[in-house]
Structure formats: C-alpha cells, structure tokens
Amino acid sequence: MALASAPVQLPAAAAVALMAMALLLLSATAAAAPPPARAPIGLPGCNTTCGNVSVPYPFGFGPSRCYWPGLNLTCNTSDSHHPPRLLLGDGSLRVTEISLSNQTVRVMRTGSIINTTGADFAARSWSVTFGRAFTEHGYLLSSGNELVVSGCNVTAMLSADIADDGEEETTEIVSACASFCASNSGGAHEMAGSMTDKYCTGTSGCCLAPLPSSGVPKGVEARWLYSATANNKSAPVPAVTVFVAEQGWVDMEKRADGVGEVPLLLDFGVKQNLPKVQPNSNDGCTQYVQRMVCKSEHSTCNAGDQGYTCDCESGYNGNPYIEGGCQDIDECKFPSTEKVCFGVCINTIGSYDCQCPQGTYGNPEVEGGCVYYDFDDTDAVSSSRPTASLGAAT
C-alpha cells in the first residue's frame, strides 16, 4: 500500500496527516453507496438475450411492445445444430453485437459480394445489388467498413444512396479501388484471388478503399481495367472477388480457402413514427422526439441520416432509450488502467470528487501528483520542493 512505502522519513506532522488520511479513506469507503442493482436493458417482460447476444431496447424480438417499430429482430431457436441465432431483416444477416454507445449493429453476411470463380470471363463487368435488409429496414452501411477487391487488373465501385440535405436521395459512387497485377506470371495468378496475402496494396492483386461516410448501399460493380484482358481466354485469368467488410477484417483474417462469414457494421437510428430529421435545425431533436425516444433521465438526443439516437450524459452509462436506463458511473471503481483519481476519491451522482489526502497538495488526478507540504520551509504552503510523493506505489 502506498502509505507504508512512503520513501522518506516523515516529519511528525505528516505522520499525523497520514493517519488522518487513512481515516478519511476508511470513512470514504464506508460512505460509498451500495452498488446499484443491474440496470435493465430492455422493457419489462421482454427477452433481452438471444444465444449470447444481448438485445437492448429499442431493439427487440417477440411481441411488438418489446421493440421500436422497424427495429425488430428475429431470434431463431429452432435450429438444433446451432445456438439461437439473432437475425436481421430477411434473415440473411446474423447479428452478433449491438452497441448503443457506438450506435452500431455488427452483422455477419455469408460470402463475398462478387465472386467470378468459374464465371464466363468474356463478361466485361459484374454487378450486384444489396439485399432488401438494408433498404427496407433503414439501416446504413457504416463508414467503419471498407471495400476489398481481389483480382488482377480489375476495378470495383460501391454506390450508395446519399441524402442530399435531407431532401432527395441520389445514387453516387462512394468508394472505389483498382487492383493491379504487374505481371502475368503464375505468381500473380496465385496471389490474386487467394486473399492470403496480408497486404492489399493495389499491386498485389488486392486493393482496399475506405467508405467516406455512412449510407444506404445500392450496389457494387466490377469491371476489367483493360478490355483485352476480358477477351483473351487463352491467358489464365484469376477470379475476381469483392467484399464490403468491417475495417481491419481482411488484415486479420488468414484464410487458406474460401470465405465464411464476413462482418459488417451498420449504423442504426430510431426513425419510424417520428417526424423526419430536420437537417438544418440546431441539434435536430425536438423536445417531442427527445421525450419519446430518449426516455431516460440524464440522456441526450442526436439526429442523423439514420434517424434519432440517444446517449447517456457524461458521468452516466446504460441504456438511454428506457426509463432509468442511464445510471451513474462510479469513477472511483475504475480499474487501475483507467484510474482517474489517485487521491481520496468520492463518487458523486454524475461525477466524482477527487482530492489530495489531508496534509498533501498537488494534482490528485495524476499518479504521484499529491505531495507533502514541506514543513522545513518557513512558508510551508508555497513550497515548490516536494519531499515525498504519495500514490506512486500500486
């Protein structure tokens, strides 16, 4: 403990101060409120887990009172080969994580978007449209995803519907990259399409492009860079594969063959039965919307392309969408890696009080920031030469 290991001999006064501090610490511990009961994440009587995925309101499944219209999911328990599976939309997307604070839903989608393995290479381009799950349910493809293209001398483009000042949606190319193979050797052939190469450099038979903003994905189109490649059937032509995947997935995943499920991040918002988001208003949330959607005290409301979202005020966390959902954070109980107070910490509602122990002064919010008054000096308080520091040992 810090007190026992104070590095220098202490003047008597400081020793007294230490005892006082120990008492203070004790009393602070005694006065600490009991840990609050675990706050609910869903509405009363609603199931908030499916398999091992936690489903906080406004998401839900089962009876319609359990979710905000449009944010219903399906929990499929009927497949004996799998644990219960949480599904979105038409069932082609499996939900693995819902983050209210990030305003995202992580889903898994099976396979690539374009895969020309075995295709007729006379084709000059391939295109696919996204499933109805996106367009009908009002989710946005998050900017936390990226476009990944594998193949030789091919370019791919992702188009999305972008809201233009909230007025009209126009379809625009939002992301594109070209994947080039410098030589026609067997090496390039092997590299391309296999995706086992860690780095997508654009000349390695693989390229990556970020998504500049979230949007409703419309489709993906891939084309040959040179028309000759498309028509020369005597040359070996590596397959073209295109993915949209959560950022970092392609670097982390080392696949020998094939691709299972690909993670995607979606942005969500509460939208149905509410006035349209007014893009030019101050914060976009009217009092009516705030009251209807962000039901917890100590919550704030945001408006975006995806609809309305809520946050807990700083100092609180939990579910801002339900009454009593935002709960005080006990900053004094943070683990040592996130510790905010190295002095005497007293949690308060919505914040915390942090002071140097009695007999010391300085900055209690940094490790070793509290130092003893130097009693050798004539003017003790103004001393700038600390003789010992507290709180350095942990």
Between 114 and 388, name the residue whose CB sits nearer to ligand NAG: 114
Give me the residue label for tokens 């449009």. Answer: 70
# binding residues, ligand NAG (CB under 6 A): 38
Q: What single string gives the DSSP state of each residue in 169-203? A: EEEEEEEEEEE-BS--SHHHHHHTTT--SS---SS
Q: Using CA atoms, how far apart are residues 191 and 181, in angstroms rounded to an integer?
A: 9
Report long-range pairs for 295-302 (Cβ below 8 Å, ≥24 apart).
Answer: 295/320, 295/321, 295/322, 295/323, 295/325, 296/320, 296/321, 296/322, 296/323, 296/324, 296/325, 296/326, 297/323, 297/324, 297/326, 298/326, 298/350, 299/325, 299/326
Binding status of residue 287 toward ligand NAG by CB under 6 A: no
Between 192 and 341, name the residue whose CB sits nearer to ligand NAG: 192
**Residue of the chain from 11, 84, 368, 386 that contacts ligand NAG (CB under 6 A):** 84
Binding status of residue 187 toward ligand NAG by CB under 6 A: no
**Residue of the chain from 2, 40, 76, 143 that contacts ligand NAG (CB under 6 A):** 76
Site for ligand NAG in 100-159 (CB under 6 A): 102, 104, 111-112, 115, 117, 152-153
Measuring CA to CA, how many Å separate 103 from each of 63, 118, 141?
23, 39, 12
Binding status of residue 330 toward ligand NAG by CB under 6 A: no
Omega of the bond leading into 58 within 30 degrees of 0 (cis): yes
**Residue of the chain from 5, 78, 280, 382 that contacts ligand NAG (CB under 6 A):** 78
Question: How many CB atoms are closer than 10 A to CB 80?
Answer: 5
Site for ligand NAG in 56-75 (CB under 6 A): 72-75
Q: How far is the CB of 291 from ligand NAG (least distance, A)?
A: 24
Q: How far is the CB of 363 from ligand NAG (least distance, A)?
A: 28
Residues forming the site for ligand NAG (CB under 6 A): 47, 50, 52, 72-79, 83-84, 89, 91, 97, 99, 102, 104, 111-112, 115, 117, 152-153, 181, 183-184, 188, 226, 228-229, 232, 234-235, 241, 258-259
